[in-house]
Amino acid sequence: MNVAKEVARDWIETHRETLSEWHRTIWELAEPAWREYRSAAWFVDRLRQAGFTVEAGSGGMPTAFAAQWSNGPGPTLAGYAEYDAVPGHCQAAATTPGPRAGLSGFAPGHTDPHSALGIGALAGILAAQHAMQKRNLKGSLRFFGEPAEKVQGSKLVHGLRGYYDGIDAMVSFHPFYMLPLCNTTRWDTHCGAYCSRIYSFICDAPETWGAAASDSPIAAAHSAARAPGANVALFTMYSLTKATMESMLAHTGGWSLNEAILTAGQATADNLAAHLAQISYAWRAPDVPMANAILEVLDRNADHAAAAAHCRVVKRWVSRTRPGVANHVLAELTYKNLEAVGPPRYGEKAIALAREIQHNLGLEPMTRPFLPACEQLIEPQVAEARLREQMPAWQTHWTSDDYVEMSWYAPTVRLYIARPMLAVPEGYAGYPAWVSNALGGLAPCIDPTIEVAGKTIAGTLLELLSRPEALTAARTEFIERTSGARFIAPLLPRDFTPPIDYRWPEYVTTARGPDWWIPATADLEGARPA
């Protein structure tokens, strides 16, 4: 088995420059949730070139895919790519703040970065495939394209549609920096429940709000009273929700609630009741009952806001996931493969770039500018103990990510490899967001993350292919953790349709040419913080 792992590692070493180029391609595309058309097409093409059979648009999601390759009868192992970026974080791969060439600063950028997640996972799959061919290891590999992670959109759909059925083990990788989960695998405290819901307020019959003006046959006369309309409903809900947050849940468990206003409806300031307005809420909670308590308040607020503004309200789920399921067998096995590879190491070029960033921020460049934890391993049990130091004993889950849905269909390991982060000088308030975004695009800084992830994933997959007893143990643990009273059924119906038709931010092409949907203009860009 060590020979097969060496073959896989050699493949990654041989393809280091290629992997770096692949990553920069996805990083520059930076397409946001549900609109990752070119990024998904790139992965589909690359996998087909490698001999995978690929279903593009899997699960009814245009930017998703499901790929499979087999080398004969044996275990079926899986991984996945994410590739969605975040609107409003367009940053060049540079040591100073500023958007990528020709783009608005309000265009998307990779913040986590999912570009490294996707290419790191792809490197692991392709390296494992190469070793399986060279060493004649039997089994199958599945690789999924999972769009819209930032709204946790695709994995629950793939699960509901049966795409994860028949998988013996799943490897979930993410670049990470939230201490202590850095260069490790998650042990007991996995991600919790996540919900996202869009509330659409529609003013269908503004003329029935009140009596028309006596001197006008229409309710839109400039001198007539008009129905409050959809905008009023939206901002009434927004205000109500801010006012009732303290009444949703006790201040414990690390739950959170965020909102985003979708651009919809009229864009002129005429004397017409706004016909349509939409607001999206996303909330994280350690468990499903807590998530449901938040939902109850949000739905009630929406109903009252609609009634007050003479509207009706349409409620549509974006995502609703279950808390994650741990698997110690896979966590320990994967961590041992990470130990054999070692943590990311930053060379002279990376250090020089990091020091240049510090200098440009008016800081004294450090001899070792990267956060020490980025170049250190931490055992899963040690990370678990540190993570729980500030948690109440009853809390079993923390934060959220939609890999949790996979963990209900197959034994799943959550692997974290450090992304490059700078050490914070004593007394410094903290780096602006553009710094970490830029580090994710600077090859000398981000490439070590991709290489370590690829080698670790490949080693894990190859070991599972050759050790049936490990897969059996992982499966036994999975059954124990998901059976009987522990089982939580999917929270959305099997025929759930993801809201891909809603007005999600995207790149557009008009008579003016290709552009971000918020164009680059001097007055808007001038307001961008340095």
**Residue with tokens 């124990």, as numbered in its chain:** 480
d(CA 88, CA 433): 11
pLDDT of residue 1: 61
Mean residue pLDDT of the chain comes to 93
Pairing of strands 140-145, 76-81: parallel
d(CA 398, CA 380): 15
d(CA 167, CA 110): 30
Helices (H), 151-287: 155-160, 229-244
Same-domain pairing of 400 and 443:
yes
pLDDT of residue 270: 75
Same-domain pairing of 169 and 70:
yes
Q: How far is CA 280 from the centre of its chain?
A: 17
Phi, psi of 203, deg, nearest 5: -100, 90
Domain boundary pick from 305, 321, 337: 321
| 228 in a structural domain | yes
Q: Which residues contact 367 (CB under 8 A, 6 or more apart)?
A: none
pTM, 2 dp: 0.94
The number of residues in the chain equals 530
List the helix and strand counts (H, then E) for the chain. Answer: 15, 13
Instruction: Tell me how many domains the chain contains.
Output: 2
Same-domain pairing of 244 and 179:
no
| 151 in a structural domain | yes
CB count, 10 Å around CB of 93? 18
Same-domain pairing of 393 and 443:
yes
- Blockwise average pLDDT, block size 10, the chain, 530 residues: 92 98 97 97 98 97 98 97 95 95 90 96 98 96 97 96 98 93 96 96 89 60 76 95 91 88 76 89 95 96 97 97 98 98 98 98 96 97 95 93 96 98 93 96 98 98 96 98 96 95 90 80 62
Q: Which residues contact 492 (CB under 8 A, 6 or more apart)?
A: 156, 160, 317, 320
d(CA 334, CA 377): 13
Domain boundary pick from 455, 471, 486: 486
| 92 in a structural domain | yes
pLDDT of residue 377: 98
Structure tokens belonging to residue 41? 């097409």
d(CA 508, CA 31): 11
Same-domain pairing of 173 and 154:
yes
Same-domain pairing of 315 and 353:
no
| 528 in a structural domain | no
Dihedral sign for Cα 178, 180, 182, 186, please. negative
- Between the alpha carbon of residue 272 and those of residues 98, 209, 264, 268, 474, the distances in Å are 39, 13, 15, 9, 61
pLDDT of residue 520: 72
**CATH number of the domain within which 287 lies:** 3.30.70.360
Phi, psi of 80, deg, nearest 5: -160, 160
**CATH number of the domain within which 393 lies:** 3.40.630.10
CB count, 10 Å around CB of 479? 11
The edge-to-edge listing of strands for the beta sheet with 184-185 is: 53-56, 65-70, 140-145, 76-81, 169-176, 412-418, 184-185
Q: How far is CA 32 from the centre of its chain?
A: 10
- Between the alpha carbon of residue 240 and those of residues 44, 108, 316, the distances in Å are 45, 30, 19
| 404, 291 contact by CB (below 8 A) | no
| 219, 207 contact by CB (below 8 A) | yes
Dihedral sign for Cα 465, 82, 38, 442, please. negative
| 81 in a structural domain | yes
Same-domain pairing of 347 and 432:
yes
| 335, 184 contact by CB (below 8 A) | yes
| 511 in a structural domain | no
pLDDT of residue 530: 41
Q: Which domain holds residue 52?
A: 2-191+323-486
Same-domain pairing of 331 and 408:
yes
CA nearest to 71, candidates 153, 160, 158, 136: 136
CB count, 10 Å around CB of 354? 26
Same-domain pairing of 186 and 116:
yes
CB count, 10 Å around CB of 275? 17
